[in-house]
A and B are shown apart, each in its own frame.
Chain A
Amino acid sequence: MITAAVPEREDYLNVSHGLKSWLLTKDHKRIGLLYLATITLFFFLGGVFATVIRIELLTPGGGLVSSETYNKLFTMHGVTMIFFFLLPSIPAVFGNFFLPMMIGARDLAFPRINLLSWYLLVVGGLFALFAMLAGGVDTGWTFYTPYSTTYSNTWVIATALGIFVAGFSSILTGLNFIVTIHRMRAPGMTWFRMPLFVWAHYATALIQVLGTPVLAVTIVLVFCERVFHIGIFDPALGGDPVLFQHLFWFYSHPAVYIMILPAMGVVSELVSTFSRKAIFGYRIVAFSSVAIAVLGFLVWGHHMFVSGQSLFAGMAFSFLSYFVAIPSAIKVFNWTATLYKGSISYATPMLYAFGFIGLFTMGGLTGLFVAALGIDVHVTDTYFVVAHFHYIMVGGAIMGYMGGLHYWWPKMTGRMYPEGWAKLSALVIFLGFNLTFFPQFILGYLGMPRRYHTYPAEFQILHVLSTAGASVLAVGYAIPMIYFAWSLRYGKVAGANPWGATGLEWKTASPPPLHNFDKIPVVTHDAYDYSTVVGEAVEVG
């Protein structure tokens, strides 16, 4: 199709021009794209660290980097990926861009605070980058005391300050989402007409708001301890290092749900759209998001079974951890039930949704292993745990992120991505991911500890498989970067609703106008009511 001589329609991308119009924008859509660019850079950086780690682990002796450098590499891989890619990823990019559109609002409640939160992430990221360039940090992303406060001679404070500042970015995003969902819904958009993506982000925002401040104060205490040696976490002065772990995991366990809940929201959208059916048990899926957010705050001690924590607290935390399985399983079962007798199309976003369901299930089930007090003593700090959380964070969160990126790309840019390449890369990512991380389950169960750069020779075959998988995975992530860039100029022009989806974001032009809708919609139907989109073009099937 060749389009020519059509007068250009005004949208959020061409309404104003120049660097200043982007850096001072209050438009949630542009801020979403600023986040997209920022976190893509950090994803690349974290990927570089991962690459060096995997190359180092090819041989049992380890010869590429010293043990000190290796400590810094896995620390900086974790810090970059968690605090500067995964935590902002879906909420700050797609949440920012689509949450207001999905509830029929012109913008978030506090656009200036929204822009501020992006700047905070950038400033935090610069602190962390400075620390990495100046010499790195070697405490592990968990900053356990007293190593981080007393013994480490690396850039702990600069990195911690970066995380502190980025934390406020996360808090402000969550605050903005909660107020927006409560106060900015379009006429007729009742709570139980909201897309499940919005419900998931509401639950995520609760965690951001309730959990992140505790991380912030923990960092303040680490800072004081390191600078003034006040003894709060130093056993020599009567302090208790385990208190640090309590405060740290009070945030950092729920933080895992900041990463996975938004991905679950994306998957709910994808599963419904590409099977053209309402989500089975809509309400229970909505409530399960909130349940995960709440239960997530009651289980943090399961990270501390071998820390010296009381056995009784360990038993309580182990017991409580099992409750998280209930809402998680509800989601998986309900997505599966939605597929039943649906008219399923295997477009790329749906492939990622399938990938998510499978990999998240594996990550979740192995989570039951490590939540069990007895088994965890055996696998603590082994590759079993590493594999478990990568199945959740990469197999879950990043699969959701990639699915969302493909699904909403036409809406964000007005262009379709090339479907063939996209399907290929989705397949490559899925295979590469499993080849990388499945051997790590076996490695861990056999006793390979995490955070070591040398290992007994009999583990080499599994490490080689893992490194080979990582190479495949890298190719899988590189292909989309290329074709997304290509599609900006050469991609097929997308219609308003290329997937025949029901969300309000598809009821406006692609790319959307500055204030999202020419006229604020009045909502009269439930989410996922496909009778409202009968006859709308489905471009990919």
Chain B
Amino acid sequence: MASTLQEQFDTEAQQKDASTLGMWIFLITEVMFFGGMFTAYTVYRRAYSDAFAVASSSLNVTIGAINTAVLLVSSFTMVMAVRAAQLGQRRTLILFLVATLIFGGIFLGVKAYEWNEKFEQHHVPGPSFHLEGVPQQSHAQLFFSLYFAMTGLHALHMVIGVGIISWLIWLARQGRFTAEYNTPVDIAGLYWHFVDIIWIFLFPLLYLIDRHLPK
């Protein structure tokens, strides 16, 4: 097998350390990227809490919760894939990567269904936007603008993740990963879990926090 050590490194351990650190720093840039969105959300939710409460409560909480569970399960299958890679179990690795792909796909499918529902209910920002029970339509529209921007960017990250996992499956089928060399699986796992964490915050912020208010 060809050496997996690139010429700028001295040891495999140094190479793996560098890749892992690089991925963590990349994730920090992602935290700040989504952070801008979270800031905008916080500012407007504070300013227009009534309209945001009605708009938030119009989302389908059952579907949201189920989709959250689906994503959490995909994180579990991903960590199992990483574990299989560390143990050098090729068949198990491929199995769990495929499972992750499936759960990720289900999440995206459900998300697409939800978005489609918004189109049918005229909850998409634009000229035909309308939400019952809100005096200031533009404020409710702001909620949905942020909803689409945040879930849209999250879904974009999921799509990229699906692409990465497909690529890993292809590499794994070629037997490129061993108990000694599995860094790509490891850092792809970090990315996948990070996207999961973003959703862990999006779910309560978008679906839940104003549920208790009287309709």
Contacts and interface: CB of A to CB of B under 8 A. Distances in A.
A/B touching: CB–CB < 8 A: yes
Interface of A: 105-111, 171, 175-176, 178-179, 182-184, 209-214, 216-218, 220-221, 224, 228-232, 236-240, 243, 246-247, 515
A183 B17 contact: yes
A230 B125 contact: yes
Contact of A238 (B21, B39, B48, B149): B48
A230 B26 contact: no
B25 A183 contact: no
Given A109-B8, A175-B26, A179-B22, A232 B32 contact: no
A231 B141 contact: yes
A247 B39 contact: yes
Given A214-B36, A232-B40, A237-B138, A220 B22 contact: no
A240 B43 contact: yes
Contacts of B170: none
Nearest to A112: B6
Contacts of A211: 32
The CB with the most chain A CB atoms within 10 A, among B29, B48, B126, is that of B29
Contact of A213 (B9, B33, B48, B125): B33
B95 interface: no
B22 A213 contact: no
A212 B29 contact: yes
25 contacts: A109-B8, A175-B22, A175-B29, A176-B22, A178-B21, A183-B14, A183-B17, A184-B8, A184-B9, A209-B29, A213-B29, A213-B30, A217-B32, A217-B34, A228-B126, A228-B145, A230-B142, A230-B145, A230-B149, A231-B125, A237-B138, A238-B44, A238-B136, A238-B139, A240-B44
A106 B8 contact: yes
A108 B21 contact: no
Interface of A is mostly: helix
B186 to A, nearest CB: 15
A108 B8 contact: yes
Nearest to A239: B142
The CB with the most chain B CB atoms within 10 A, among A175, A214, A217, A237, is that of A217
Given A220-B149, A224-B149, A238-B142, A179 B21 contact: yes
B134 to A, nearest CB: 11
Interface residues of B, number: 38
A209 B37 contact: no
A237 B47 CA distance: 13
Interface string B1-21: 000001111000010011001
Contacts of B126: 228-229
Contacts of B149: 220-221, 224, 230
A108 B142 CA distance: 44
Interface in B126-141: 126, 136, 138-139, 141
B69 interface: no
A4 to B, nearest CB: 35
A246 B139 CA distance: 20
B200 interface: no
B125 A221 contact: no
A236 B139 CA distance: 10
The CB with the most chain A CB atoms within 10 A, among B30, B34, B125, is that of B125
B28 interface: yes
B35 interface: yes
Contacts of A107: 7-8
Given A108-B8, A237-B142, A218 B22 contact: no
A176 B22 CA distance: 7
A106 to B, nearest CB: 5
Contacts of A212: 29
Contacts of A231: 125, 138, 141-142, 145
Given A183-B14, A184-B8, 14 more contacts: A109-B9, A175-B25, A182-B18, A184-B9, A184-B18, A210-B28, A212-B29, A213-B30, A214-B33, A214-B36, A218-B36, A228-B126, A237-B141, A243-B43
B151 to A, nearest CB: 13
Contacts of A218: 36
A171 B29 CA distance: 8
B8 A183 contact: no
Contacts of B136: 238
Nearest to B37: A217
A217 B36 contact: yes
A213 B14 contact: no
A279 B21 CA distance: 31
Contacts of B142: 230-232, 237-239
Contacts of B125: 228, 230-231
Contacts of A228: 125-126, 145
Interface in B109-136: 125-126, 136
Shortest 3 CB-CB distances between A and B: which pairs? Answer: A217-B36, A230-B145, A213-B33
A512 to B, nearest CB: 14
A247 B39 CA distance: 9
A228 to B, nearest CB: 7
A105 B14 CA distance: 12
Contacts of B34: 217
A230 B141 contact: yes
Nearest to B26: A175
A236 B14 CA distance: 55
B21 to A, nearest CB: 5
Nearest to B14: A183
Contacts of B6: 111
A475 B35 CA distance: 45
Nearest to A242: B43
Given A184-B8, A224-B145, A232-B145, A109 B22 contact: yes
Nearest to B10: A520
Given A224-B149, A243-B40, A111 B22 contact: no
B8 A105 contact: yes
Interface string B25-62: 11011111111110110011001100000000000000
Given A105-B8, A184-B8, A238-B138, A214 B32 contact: yes
B140 to A, nearest CB: 9
